[in-house]
Structure 1
Amino acid sequence: MPEGEEPELAGVLATQLGRGERETRLSLSRALIALGEVIMPTLRAAMTDLDPRVRQHAIATERLSRDPDAGFEFAIEEAKRIVALGTTGQEG
């Protein structure tokens, strides 16, 4: 990918957040994380999406980017709890 196009690609990939089964979501999360810090504004925006699946996936991707050893299942379960509580988890 040409240097500098990462934010645009992150935006395109983010349109797919919340879609597919576990393997598809994990693959998308990994692709986003591989783009580096440029994904953070896109993920933060997705964390406020009206669709709870999009919010959960964005939160899980952000968690996974901070702690890759935690695992995707843990990140998804944590994201579900956060969405159910009605926060993005960014407050603390």
Structure 2
Amino acid sequence: MPEGEEADLAAVLATQLGRGGRETRLSLSRALIALGEVVMPVLRAAMTGTAPGVRQHAIATERLFRDPEAGFGFAVEEAKRLVALGTADREG
């Protein structure tokens, strides 16, 4: 990818958040994380959206970005809990 186009790619990839099964979501999360810090604004925007699946996937990706050792399964379960409790948009 040409230097400086990471944010544009992150925006395009973010349109796919919440789609597919576990492996597809994990693959997308890894691709977003590989882009680095430029994904954070895109993820934060998706975390405040109205579609629960998108919010959960964005939260899980952000958690995985911050703590890759936690694992995707743990991040997904935490994201589901946050969305169910309605606290995802208050998380920082």
Q: Structure 1 length normalisation: TM-score? A: 0.96
Match of 1:55 in 2: 55
Instruction: Please say if 1:40 is aligned against 2:40.
Output: yes
Q: Kindly report which structure 2 residues correspond to 1:11-50, keeping only aligned pairs within 5 A, or say none.
A: 11-50=11-50
Residues 38-58 of structure 1 deviation map (CA, whole Å, 9 limit, x = unaligned): 000000000011100000000
* Gap regions ≥5 residues in structure 1: none
In 2, the alpha carbon distance for the partners of 1:67 and 1:48 equals 21
Instruction: Name stretches of at least 5 consecutive residues in structure 2 with no aligned partner.
Output: none
1: distance between equivalents of 2:57 and 2:29? 8
Instruction: Give the whole-Å Cα distance in 2 for the aligned partners of 1:45 and 1:87.
Output: 15
What one-letter code is carried by the residue in structure 2 that aligns with 1:26?
Answer: L
Q: In 2, distance between residues paired with 1:4 and 1:86? A: 35
- Please give the alpha-carbon distance, in whole angstroms, between the structure 1 residues aligned to 2:54 and 2:21: 13
Higher helix share: 2
The structure 1 segments of at least 4 consecutive aligned residues displaced by more than 2 Å after TM superposition are none
Task: Tell me, in whole angstroms, the C-alpha distance in 1 between the residues paired with 2:91 and 2:82.
Answer: 10
Q: What's the TM-score once normalised by structure 2's chain length?
A: 0.96
SS at structure 2 position matched to 1:84: helix
